[in-house]
Structure 1
Amino acid sequence: MHNYLRVERDGVASETIRCPKQGILPHDMIHYAVECTVTHKGFLSLLREGRPVAFTTSGGETEAAVERLVETFQAEMWGGRVPAKDLIAVYEHACGTDGSLVAPIAPADVEAIRQKLDELIDAWSSLPIGHSLTVSF
């Protein structure tokens, strides 16, 4: 089963991404929470800049760092919340395993992202099957 992310931009035909259904928010919605909170560019930021949905990331350091940050929050959603400093330590360790740049993140950023995730979880879990959630980025 899948969820779908429809990307709509001015002057560009809408595009759709098939997202595997999971028991938490879709992965790309976690990207939204992260990328609308911090200034580091990741997948959604690149889409906003005009990249097509099917693009392959260039493997830039910032892109990899944002992906590790999204994965860290995704893991926390599966396993339960930890102190912000512990989440940051896990993120920094994850960046170190593949040589990624560690994009700076502060405990206040962690809390802001968590707040955005909580808002998205509430909105997402309230949706009837077959309905959609619209966010602007």
Structure 2
Amino acid sequence: MELVFTKGTGKHDRMDVIRHGAPVESIDCPKQGIIPHDMVHYAVESTLHRRGFIGRVLEGEAASFQMQGDAQSDGVERLVEVFQADGWSGWNSSPADMLDLYLVTCRARECAPLSVRAEDIEAVRGRLLELTERWQSLAAGASLTLAFEP
């Protein structure tokens, strides 16, 4: 599966989902001052090999904001939120602080946390920083294509 992120000129970027033998699905991604939310999903899921939104789309679910809850993907979503918060504050929170925030977020949402270590936080952050650099270098209208494998 390929994810094609296109930098928009207005309030949204776009993600096109390209699966072999299926129609292309597109999602408008509200701009948030960092990379698109679903690109954060890509980094978390591809680095940690966990099934979240992107993994569920790979398995054939519609790429929409209306997915039913699922223990693992709910844990991934909470972790994506923690990485987004880290991005908004400059991508420099300590792994220990991020893990603490993750546990608080999971408790607040009554979601079982995934087993995540400081090394995992650093690995995902490295991927996010690489994607951030690539995304920032794009002009409006340009795209970044990412392959996602199970």
TM-score range, shorter chain: over 0.9
Corresponding position of 1:6: 16
Structure 1 position 68 matched with structure 2 position 68: no
The one-letter amino acid of 1:108's match is E
Percent identity over paired residues: 42
5+ residue gaps, structure 2: 1-10
User: With CA pairs under 8 Å and 6+ residues apart, which has the higher RCO, 1 or 2?
Assistant: 2
Equivalence for 1:111: 122
1:7 aligned counterpart, secondary structure: strand
Equivalents in 2 of 1:123, 1:24: separation in Å? 12
The aligned amino acid for 2:71 is E
Alignment of 1:32 onto 2:46: no
The within-5 A match list for 1:85-96 is: 85-96=96-107
Q: Distance in 2 between matches of 1:52 and 1:97?
A: 27
**Contact residue 42 and residue 67 of structure 1 kept, 8 A:** yes
Q: How many residues align?
A: 137
The offset of 1:12, in angstroms, is 0.5
Structure 1 unaligned runs (5+)?
A: none
SS of aligned partner of 2:64: coil
Aligned-partner Cα distance in 1 for 2:52–2:81: 12
Q: Which residue of 1 aligns with 2:110?
A: 99
Q: CA RMSD in A?
A: 1.1
Moved over 6 A (4+): none
Please give the TM-score of this superposition, normalised by the length of structure 2: 0.88
Indicate the SS of the match to 2:144.
coil
2:142 is aligned to: 131
Taking structure 1 as the reference length, the TM-score comes to 0.96
